[in-house]
């Protein structure tokens, strides 16, 4: 899933989760769609980066479509 999230710039070790946006699917026979999901809070050894551009590689599509036998359920 390609994702974007704004790092918390006020505190590098925020204890609050971050809402991220990405592209994904709910089932192998459904098209990709914009989705929001929650990422865990940063830990002391994590690095926060701002992702400006992201892409979806062909293996992401195979995984979403379950072309590799049960890959999407793991």
Q: What is the pLDDT of residue 73?
A: 52
Domains in the chain: boundaries: 3-73
- Is the pLDDT confidence value at 71 over 60? no
pLDDT band at 3 (very low <50, low <70, confident <90, very high): low
Q: Whole-model pTM above 0.85? A: no
Q: What is the average pLDDT score of the chain?
A: 80
Beta bridge partners of 19: 38
DSSP 24-57: E-SSTTS--EEEEEEEPPPPTT------------
Give tens-digit pLDDT for 45-69: 999 888 888 888 899 899 888 898 8
| Cα→Cα distances 45→12, 15, 42, 58, Å | 10, 13, 8, 31
H/E element, 63: helix 58-64
């Amino acid at each position: 899933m390609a994702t974007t999230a704004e790092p918390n710039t006020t505190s590098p070790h925020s204890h609050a989760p971050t809402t991220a946006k990405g592209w994904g699917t709910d089932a192998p026979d459904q098209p990709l769609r914009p989705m929001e999901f929650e990422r865990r809070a940063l830990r002391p050894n994590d690095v926060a980066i701002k992702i400006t551009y992201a892409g979806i590689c062909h293996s992401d599509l195979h995984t979403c479509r379950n072309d590799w036998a049960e890959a999407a359920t793991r």
